[in-house]
Amino acid sequence: MPAQPVPDPHPPSIAPLELERMRGAVRASLFAKPAELPRLGRYTLLRCIGHGGMGIVYAARDEELDREVAIKLLRAELARSDDRRLATEARALARLAHPNVVCVFDVGMHEGQRFIAMDYVVGEDLRRWLAAPRRLRDVLRVFAGAGRGLHAAHVVGLVHRDFKPDNVLVGDDGRPRVLDFGLARPPEPGGDPTNLEISLIESPAF
């Protein structure tokens, strides 16, 4: 008899807001009523558009300014250990105002979970963008734009520390934008900002 898989004793939990959104969708399907979308302060969560080890990203509507935004919400099971990392990302992005860096304009807490509100960019990450046939001049233009975004971060004393194709969004307008500064840190006083220790959470290949 083949060995049975051992269940994970610590399965990842679903963020409360995501669970609320899923329940609303089920109720809407069962009772043919519009889904009641969860709220996070002034933001209404519309749909999940991405997720990673640290958090879930939603497309949302800013009800006060009537615009679509992206909300990054720290995963419930990581809220205590990684809250400071997400706050670091918010502070790092808030210090930058550059066309090649995703703009962050709000950070807060919701029922003990940290969130960041940032520009909603319609497009795809650089890895997927490069999977399609591209003209050399377009590739060079996008790479140069991403480099300008990184340079802008370095000018204000920040090093990304996890720069890779997944952390660059290429918008439908063709403009690249660097994001996910959750590992950013100021260089050590008097130190070389490019001479960084590699940790397991980073991507040394890039």
Structure tokens at 201: 């959470």
- Degrees (nearest 5) of the Cα angle 88, 89, 92? 85
Tell me the three state secondary structure of residue 58.
Answer: strand
**Residue 167, exposed/middle/buried by CB under 10 A (0-12, 13-18, 19+)?**
buried
23 vs 14: CA distance, rounded Å: 12
Q: What is the dihedral of CA 74, 79, 82, 86, to 10 degrees?
A: 40
Structure tokens that stand for 20 in this block: 């609320």
Q: Which residues contact 87 (CB under 8 A, 6 or more apart)?
A: 107, 114
Contacts for 83 with CB less than 8 Å, ≥ 6 apart: 74, 114
C-alpha–C-alpha distance, residues 186 and 158, integer Å:
5
Active-site positions read 162
DSSP 3-state assignment of 27? helix
